[in-house]
Amino acid sequence: MSDSESDLDNGQNESSENNSEVEENGEEEQVESDDEKKQNSIEKNVTWKDLGLIDVLCDACNELKWKKPTKIQLEAIPVALQGKDVIGLAETGSGKTGAFALPILQSLLENPQRYFGLVLTPTRELAYQIAEQFEALGTSIGVKCCVIVGGMDMVAQALQLAKKPHIIIATPGRLADHLENTKGFNLKAIRYLVMDEADRILNMDFEVELDKILKVIPRERRTFLFSATMTKKVKKLERASLRDPVKIEVSGTYQTVEKLQQYYVFIPMKFKDVYLVHILNELSGNSFMIFCSTCNNTVRTALMLRSLGLGAVPLHGQMSQNKRLAALNKFKAKNRQILISTDVASRGLDIPHVDVVLNFDIPTHSKDYIHRVGRTARAGRSGKAITFVTQYDVELYQRIEHLLGKQLPLFKCEEEEVMALQERVGEAQRTARLELKDIEDRKGSKRKSGGDNADDDDTEQFNGARKRIKHFGGGKNNKNRSQKFKKKK
């Protein structure tokens, strides 16, 4: 039952006590609900054309199956098309990329030039994703994008920049390197600057690099600042780089989407792995993102799950960029159903088929929880998020509940069923420890010999892991595995 319905019910129950009061309340509620209905029907009926977009871009949106604008797009695009600076605050997964990409592309069509827009993002994976969206929206108009991030060859990037793309998508650190070291490259022609996930850019201490970049781009430009959360640093940045901005806030400061089902599970620390395997088995058939606190733990957990025959890939900051992209692509292509990551993948990544987010290690910053669980239930779809709480995490978990303003329900697990897996998980843990040691030894020997250790990043070549997960996700293997688990139980 919705809140408005329960309020009306309460009103009816109290009618005998105070009729006049109820009539007043009822009228107020009726007015409110009528206003809401009008607002909803307006939002439902608005088309891309109504926002002021030209036909080419409306067609591009329809081809991407973007049926109608999201709230942030509804409010930000008309303002941006009027040539104003925008601060957009919206929950993660609400369509922020489209909200800044579409006005920039429309402006580019009206005034074609190279080095037209610059988008700054905190993480490399997000940069590639934004580039994909720009290219998808601009396919019919021949938009050229260039991604400038760390971990890739600078000379190859310099050659790309020499071709003078329309849109540059970059992480601040690598862009600052190119401004200092690449001859002939400057940003004097830039007309649009976008800072996406601005709070994270500043939390990652890119302030020095940002200052360098802001000094060398024209003051006569449009600036868009997008973030899921507003912090003191973002306010400072807003004062420094925006002129008379229009602030658009389509949700509360810290909010998760309505269709996200959130749970917690309270477990002893020593049985975390056993509970993880149990939940993966209970919810099998879904695709999972599992968040760990350290790079080492992502690899260890991936190795443990693989030795149980589950197709898991790790993604963390110490992997080479090519390996990070390879891991992400395996997951996006549904070749693997489990992505185990540090917070490097918690921001902005749009992988539509993520069904369940597991917070294996609870985030130390409550705001990171919002971003992690935002990887599922995106763009109107539903999703689940389950947070593992051990005896050492109670305070951190209470902070998350305080931030959300509600208590989360318990995810029910039958203890007997969980403990039936203990022996098998124990064997897998031992295998993972040995394989992890093997990886560290190989890395150490390569460092001594001066070789590149990038080949060790993905870990799938170790101890026949590939054979074990060759056909994960379909056919007989998956059935056999679930039957084995049930027999064991």
Q: pLDDT tens digits for the chain (489 residues)?
A: 444 444 434 444 443 344 444 344 444 434 444 444 445 544 567 899 999 999 999 999 999 888 889 889 999 999 999 999 999 987 666 788 999 999 999 999 999 999 999 999 988 888 998 999 999 999 888 999 999 999 899 999 999 999 999 999 999 999 999 999 999 999 999 999 999 988 878 777 788 899 899 999 999 999 999 887 777 778 877 777 788 899 998 764 455 667 789 999 999 999 999 999 999 999 998 999 999 999 999 999 999 999 999 989 999 888 888 888 888 889 988 899 999 999 887 765 767 788 999 999 999 888 788 888 888 876 667 789 999 999 999 999 999 999 888 899 999 999 999 999 999 999 999 999 999 998 888 877 776 665 544 444 455 544 344 444 433 344 444 444 444 444 444
Q: Give the global pTM.
A: 0.65
Q: Are 314 and 327 in contact (CB under 8 A)?
A: yes
The order of strands in the sheet holding 383-389 is 260-266, 383-389, 356-359, 288-291, 338-341, 312-315
Where do we find the tokens 């793309």? 165
Residue boundaries of the structural domains of the chain: 48-249, 260-445
Cα 458 off chain centre by: 21
Q: How far apart are CA 68 and CA 408, in angstroms?
A: 32
One fold for both 48-249 and 260-445? Answer: yes
The distance between the two most distant Cα atoms of the chain, rounded to a whole number of Å, is: 87
Nearest to 342 by CA among 321, 368, 320, 308: 368
H or E element, residue 298: helix 295-307
Q: Which residues of 273-307 are buried (b: 16+ CB within 10 A; e: fewer)?
A: bbbbbbbbbebeebbbbbbbeebebbbbbbbbbbb
Q: How far apart are CA 29 and CA 16, in angstroms?
A: 19
CATH for 260-445 (3.40.50.620, 3.10.20.30, 3.40.640.10, 3.40.50.300) = 3.40.50.300
Q: Does domain 48-249 have CATH number 3.40.50.300?
A: yes
Q: How far apart are CA 340 and CA 270, in angstroms?
A: 19
H or E element, residue 356: strand 356-359
Residue type present at position 380: G
Query: What percent of the chain lies above the pLDDT cut of 70?
Result: 78
Q: How far apart are CA 194 and CA 210, in angstroms?
A: 12
Q: Are 264 and 406 in contact (CB under 8 A)?
A: no
Q: Are 453 and 447 in contact (CB under 8 A)?
A: yes
